[in-house]
Amino acid sequence: MQHPENNEEYKGLTVNSGVEQPAIVNPYLQRGRFARHRLTVDDYVQGILKGNVTMLGQAVTLVESTNPQHQQLAQEVIEKCLPYSGKSVRIGISGVPGAGKSTSIDEFGVHVLERTGGKLAVLAIDPSSEKTKGSILGDKTRMEKLSVHPDSFIRPSPSAGSLGGVARKTRETIILCEAAGFDKIFVETVGVGQSETACHSMVDFFLLIQLAGTGDELQGIKRGIMEMADGIVINKCDGDNVEPCQLAARQFRNALHLFPAPESGWLPKVLCYSGFYGLGIKEVWDMIFEYVDFVKGNGYFEHRRAEQAKYWMYESINEQLRNGFYNNETIAALLPRAERAVLDGQQTSFIAAKHLLDTYFGLLK
Amino acid sequence: MQHPENNEEYKGLTVNSGVEQPAIVNPYLQRGRFARHRLTVDDYVQGILKGNVTMLGQAVTLVESTNPQHQQLAQEVIEKCLPYSGKSVRIGISGVPGAGKSTSIDEFGVHVLERTGGKLAVLAIDPSSEKTKGSILGDKTRMEKLSVHPDSFIRPSPSAGSLGGVARKTRETIILCEAAGFDKIFVETVGVGQSETACHSMVDFFLLIQLAGTGDELQGIKRGIMEMADGIVINKCDGDNVEPCQLAARQFRNALHLFPAPESGWLPKVLCYSGFYGLGIKEVWDMIFEYVDFVKGNGYFEHRRAEQAKYWMYESINEQLRNGFYNNETIAALLPRAERAVLDGQQTSFIAAKHLLDTYFGLLK
């Protein structure tokens, strides 16, 4: 339970420690090495507010660190950045592996930066990344253009912890990015599970990338994920694949009609495009901008953000209640034995839980 | 947050209070009215161990009650019953609304009681039942035969609280039923969401009821639910529907081959039957008994139960951590204001959560 770093008390706050995948930022923007001396909260905040991406990357590393000192520093930085956050459009992008997410994000990103200026941050939620060592955004060559674009910041998924923890870290990273002036945020997830719900809980527009199939393409994706989508886009619509894509689009449109009307009042659209050949990218963005105008007009944009904030209040509470318990040194020491006793049938799960809780609440007194 | 009953300090432990749907037990077994005087833990335990279903029903009512006094009493009863529990086969039964679950459970139940003797308890997990007022097991006429069978005990889903809470109560009810000599337990869920995961976490065999369709029947059910199934049975295989059912069975068999091999080493079977006409019921039970022999032989039966116990230890801990917080009177009083402040954008979710947690942990000192 305890992070090995915690034992090295005299270790400085070197922000790289404990993190396997540093941010992918344009290398030409990184002047010199990471500062090795202790940075203060204000150092981070000032750096972020100036749009310094190296400082932003280091602050995100603090957010992702499991070291309690780093965590506290991160929370202070976030609190100071909060008043400067919120002024972005947050777009969730999901799709099963093989749907061409990286290429698409590259094209979507370059297009919107050329079209509207501003800055783009690409983040990810992938709780499996610890196992697979970064299946998402792990390979910077997969976003060839964005990875060297001066106005982009690409960050792989936090690689440690539960989905809840990973998602919280991504949400906190959004705040830092917005404070650093990023007005467009992508949050990428693999379209296979609960990460989508977490992603949906922090974005304004949820885009689902699909592929054409043979009528059974709806099987691969869970209904619940389709229901969350504000837009579905069918990738690889080029060459011989144009007709199958248009057929798939019709099938998705039909399927969407079977779902209950979304709270936003917006009927999700289905479009075809080709990430590889850069076709139809403009139309995808037209859709997103149309959506944003629509929900800003009817008040749903603000409503959704407020509901998300409420959701995150409860998530924060629940996560911190669990952390307080599981990170308690006495509990962490007792837990393996309790687990063993339950697995061996020497103790019931209820009694084991009760003993641990009694111990914990006794310690708090 | 606080249950209204908590204010009535002098109220006796009348076990009916706070519960809307009393157990459906054979009315001929209920001699006289429910006892209105205070029953002790030993009264309950002795009654349960004697197989007294009225006493069992009252104990389950305690388990389901939100009154803290009832809860404590329930926990003591459960602890004393635990050594007598575990000796049953627990079968999860899931299927979308309309799949004919009630009729099927009626037929499955009568068949197994005739075939093997013993006693059968039918429980349910349906967190939506508060909204829908008991969509599952709500109508006792839907289990015509079992509801008047002397060896059955039918209990609707606990109707209050989160999925986690509802599921825990069902799991605790299993223990009481087993202690009362019920050697076959059905746990029914609606096949539409996370209740299946909860159900799967407490049963030995997970049976999924499906209907024949036109090739798209796989869409309605989430892949994750199919992956949990130890057996899939296609209902309404009678008359003109025999051929479509056999086609659907082939499709499900093909689909199952695409899933990773189950940890149990058991390849899930797909069978057809008719709940309404009582056709193919024996074969369904042959499958379940074959499975139980198989996993008892290879050790997976015990392994799965041990893993479930571990899972429930963590679930118990997490639920009680949350309950301790949200049921705290000070927190319950502060929460609506904090929520309002977050919704109105006056306070961020992080800071609101932090203030509430600081208050809570301050109170515990």
* A325 and chain B in contact, CB less than 8 A: yes
* A1 and chain B in contact, CB less than 8 A: no
* A78 and chain B in contact, CB less than 8 A: yes
Rounded-to-integer distance, Cα A75 and Cα A63, Å:
8
Q: How many other CB atoms are found less than 10 A from the CB of residue B351? A: 18
State pLDDT tens for residues A259-277. 778 889 999 999 999 999 9
Span between the terminal Cα atoms of chain A, in Å: 23
Rounded-to-integer distance, Cα A279 and Cα A273, Å:
5
Give alpha helix (H) positions in A180-274: 195-200, 217-220, 223-228, 242-257
Q: Judged by CB atoms within 8 Å, which residues 256-315 of B form the interface with A?
A: 306-307, 309-314
Residue B219, min C-alpha distance to chain A (Å): 5
Contact flag A343-B309 (C-beta cutoff 8 Å): yes
Mean pLDDT, range A4-27, rounded to an integer = 37
Mean predicted lDDT score pLDDT of chain A? 82
Mean predicted lDDT score pLDDT of chain B? 82
State pLDDT tens for residues B317-346. 998 899 899 989 999 999 999 999 888 877
A316 neighbourhood in chain B, CB within 8 Å: 349-350, 353-354
Residue B280, min C-alpha distance to chain A (Å): 29
Mutate to test the interface with B, among A78, A228, A258, A317 (most CBs of B within 10 A): A317
Q: Do domains A37-84 and A86-298 have the same CATH topology?
A: no
- Bridge partners, residue A271, by sequence: A233
Q: Which of B223, B325, B348 sits opposite A309 (nearest CB)?
A: B348
Check residue B1 and give its pLDDT: 37
**Least reliable range by pLDDT among A256-260, A303-307, A327-331, B35-39:** B35-39
Indicate whether A14 pLDDT > 50: no
Give CA separation, B319 vs A162, A175, A350, B162, B308, in Å.
17, 30, 12, 10, 16
Q: What is the chain B residue with the closest CA to A350?
A: B313
B314 neighbourhood in chain A, CB within 8 Å: 353
Check residue A232 and give its pLDDT: 93
Token digits of residue A139: 């390979």
Mean pLDDT, range A327-348, rounded to an integer = 90
Token digits of residue B36: 């209105």
State pLDDT tens for residues A175-231. 999 999 999 999 998 755 677 778 888 999 999 998 887 444 454 456 667 888 999
- Bridge partners, residue A124, by sequence: A188
In this prediction, residue A2 has a pLDDT band, given cuts at 50, 70 and 90, of: very low
Q: What are the phi and psi torsion angles at B329 (to 5°)? A: -60, -40
Rounded-to-integer distance, Cα A158 and Cα A168, Å:
10
The number of C-beta contacts closer than 8 angstroms across A and B is: 125
Check residue B193 and give its pLDDT: 63
In which element (H, E) is residue B245 found? helix B242-257
Contact flag B352-A222 (C-beta cutoff 8 Å): no
Give CA separation, A340 vs A160, A343, B157, B218, in Å.
24, 5, 32, 39
Mutate to test the interface with A, among B82, B301, B346, B350 (most CBs of A within 10 A): B350
Residue B259 contacts residue B270 (beta carbons within 8 Å) = no
Check residue A199 and give its pLDDT: 85
Q: What is the chain B residue with the closest CA to A339?
A: B310
* B139 and chain A in contact, CB less than 8 A: no
> Comparing C-alpha atoms, which of B179, B174, B175 is closest to residue B188?
B174
Q: What is the chain A residue with the closest CA to B336?
A: A310
Check residue A128 and give its pLDDT: 62
Rounded-to-integer distance, Cα A307 and Cα A294, Å:
18
Would you list the domain boundaries of chain B? 37-84, 86-298, 313-364
Contact flag A82-B219 (C-beta cutoff 8 Å): no
Rounded-to-integer distance, Cα B115 and Cα B282, Å:
9
Contact flag A351-B219 (C-beta cutoff 8 Å): no
Burial of residue B210 (CB within 10 Å: 0-12, 13-18, 19+) is buried
Residue A132 contacts residue A147 (beta carbons within 8 Å) = no
* B111 and chain A in contact, CB less than 8 A: no
CATH number of the B37-84 domain: 1.20.5
Token digits of residue A333: 């020491």
> Comparing C-alpha atoms, which of B212, B226, B209 is closest to residue B102?
B209
Residue A244 contacts residue A212 (beta carbons within 8 Å) = yes
- Alpha carbon of residue B12 to chain centroid: 28
Contact flag B357-A219 (C-beta cutoff 8 Å): no
Mean pLDDT, range A144-149, rounded to an integer = 91
Q: What are the phi and psi torsion angles at B275 (to 5°)? A: -65, -40
Quote the percentage of chain A above a pLDDT of 90: 52
Contact flag B365-A364 (C-beta cutoff 8 Å): yes
Rounded-to-integer distance, Cα B259 and Cα B253, Å:
10
Mean pLDDT, range A45-56, rounded to an integer = 96
* A162 and chain B in contact, CB less than 8 A: no
Cα Rg of chain B, angstroms = 22
* B167 and chain A in contact, CB less than 8 A: no
pTM above the 0.90 mark? Answer: no
Q: How many other CB atoms are found less than 10 A from the CB of residue A244? A: 19
Q: What is the chain A residue with the closest CA to B78?
A: A350
Q: Would you give per-residue pLDDT tens digits along chain B (365 residues)?
A: 334 333 333 333 333 333 334 445 444 444 444 444 578 999 999 999 999 999 999 999 999 888 878 988 998 999 899 889 989 999 999 887 778 888 999 999 999 999 999 999 999 887 664 444 444 555 555 788 998 999 999 998 776 667 777 888 899 999 999 999 999 999 998 755 677 778 888 999 999 998 887 444 454 456 667 888 999 999 999 999 999 999 889 988 888 887 778 889 999 999 999 999 999 999 999 999 999 999 999 999 999 999 999 998 998 899 889 989 998 999 999 999 999 988 887 777 888 998 999 999 999 98
Residue B205 contacts residue B292 (beta carbons within 8 Å) = yes
A193: left (phi over 0), alpha (psi -120 to 50) or beta: beta
Q: What is the chain A residue with the closest CA to B357?
A: A317
Indicate whether A292 pLDDT > 90: yes
Q: Which CATH class is domain A86-298?
A: alpha beta
Contact flag B361-A324 (C-beta cutoff 8 Å): yes
Looking at B101-230, which runs of residues are DSSP E strands?
120-125, 152-154, 184-190, 205-211
Mutate to test the interface with A, among B337, B349, B358 (most CBs of A within 10 A): B349
